[in-house]
Amino acid sequence: MGVSARATLIILLGAVALVVAGSLVPIPSPVEVRTWAQDAGWATPVLFLLAYSLLTVAPIPRTVFNLTAGLLLGGPAGVAVSMVATMLASVLAFGLARGLGRRLVEPHLERGAVRAVNARLSGGGLGAVTSLRLVPMVPFSAMNYCCGLSTIPMRPFLIGTFLGSLPGTAAAVVLGDALTGTTPPALLAIYAVLAVVGGVGLYVVLRRSGTPVGELTDEEERLAA
């Protein structure tokens, strides 16, 4: 049996095992998961914050953590914890790249989308960071490394990261919170406002930089292909 055939067999067996396990083990509802998280008290947000901050230094998508934050912590607390974790992870990766240099982080900088990030950062400044953070397809950790290797100072990097990450983070957290069926209509309205603000912010930043609004996403899609 060849390597590819063996790998396919292992995947199929794993899928069957998951289906069997899912049919035998009761899957908790979102409300039950929220209740367990609340029963754990302060340990839930603290442990989640640590895990989020450390794991997203690596190229692991933040969306999964943001959805989980909404499910475990609810809307307001989930957004707060997710944003703190986002900023901590950004500082860690930025400092790692700037302190240890290209030799350590170079393996993470070869993807096509990352090359587009580097090209966009060549203009530097708060606007470049904010606009890139507003584009969902830009890899979070890779951008942290790119900024650390660039000449961008820490302050505009952090401000741009916060402003650009907030709309998408809030959207994912509120979606995770909505899985419990307990999301207040007012919170959904806040999410809608944040989504509009994010879109308007991206438009304004790109207009001021002289970049057509569709160009950034087109460039990312082309280079990531």
Residue 169 tokens read as 């983070």
Look at the chain and count its residues: 225
74-107 pLDDT, tens digit per residue, is 888 999 999 999 999 999 999 988 887 666 656 6
Closest CA to 71 of 48, 51, 87, 46: 48
DSSP H stretches of helix in the chain:
3-24, 30-39, 43-55, 62-73, 75-100, 102-105, 112-121, 125-133, 140-149, 154-178, 185-208, 215-224
d(CA 219, CA 10): 38
pLDDT at 69 over 90: yes
CA quadruple 161, 166, 168, 173: dihedral sign: positive
Residue 196 tokens read as 């509009």
* pLDDT for residue 56: 93
* pLDDT for residue 23: 61
Mean pLDDT, rounded, of the chain: 76
4-54 pLDDT, tens digit per residue, is 566 677 777 777 776 666 566 666 677 777 888 888 889 999 999 999 999
172-216 pLDDT, tens digit per residue, is 898 888 887 766 666 666 666 766 666 666 566 556 555 444 444
**Three-class DSSP labels, 138-182:** CCHHHHHHHHHHCCCCHHHHHHHHHHHHHHHHHHHHHHHHHCCCC
CA quadruple 204, 153, 53, 184: dihedral sign: negative
CA quadruple 142, 148, 150, 153: dihedral sign: positive
142-181 pLDDT, tens digit per residue, is 889 888 887 788 899 999 999 989 988 988 898 888 887 7
* pLDDT for residue 192: 67
Question: Half-sphere exposure of residue 115, counting CA atoms within 13 Å on the CB side?
Answer: 9
* pLDDT for residue 223: 37
